[in-house]
Structure 1
Amino acid sequence: MAHRTPPPPRICPACDGFASAAITLGGRDSRGCLRTITAHCPACQGTGTATVRRFPEGARA
């Protein structure tokens, strides 16, 4: 019997699936490592997938 494959997750349109990014702050710390922070996509909160809307925009529930 063939296995059913789940549909691919919806990729977030704001970040195109790249939900987190390491951003350098410039300079190095005392050990010589680059100082970085992690920034997450505000639209998907760092998951990379978009939420599925049950109702189209403008429709009443």
Structure 2
Amino acid sequence: MPQHAPNTPVCRDCDGFPTVAITTGTRNPDGTRTTLAVNCPACQGTGRRTATALIRTGR
């Protein structure tokens, strides 16, 4: 069955994946990697983007 796309527009910069985890290269005392959560600067971590301005054409 085909899956339907959401009606909300997806951010062009992050393609709907607004938050990513980046490893810093260091390890915590328990052996896990230290990560930073970074949000998309274009959509501020929502994954959706709205039109910033509407342009009127014609008369």
Which residue number corresponds to residue 31 of structure 2?
Answer: 32
Q: Deviations over 1:38-60 (max 9, x none)?
A: 0100000000000134512xx5x
Q: Extract unaligned runs of 5+ from structure 2.
A: 1-5
Say what the alpha-carbon RMSD is for the aligned residues.
1.6
User: Which amino acid in structure 2 is aligned with residue 38 of structure 1?
Assistant: A
Which residue number corresponds to residue 14 of structure 1?
Answer: 13
Aligned counterparts of 2:53 and 2:26: Cα–Cα separation in 1: 47
TM-score normalised by the chain length of structure 1: 0.73
What SS does the aligned partner of 1:10 have?
coil
TM-score normalised by the chain length of structure 2: 0.75
User: Which amino acid in structure 1 is aligned with residue 43 of structure 2?
Assistant: C
User: Are residues 1:55 and 2:58 paired?
Assistant: no
Question: Runs of 4 or more off by more than 6 Å in structure 1?
Answer: none
Q: Extract unaligned runs of 5+ from structure 1.
A: 1-6
User: Which amino acid in structure 1 is aligned with residue 34 of structure 2?
Assistant: R
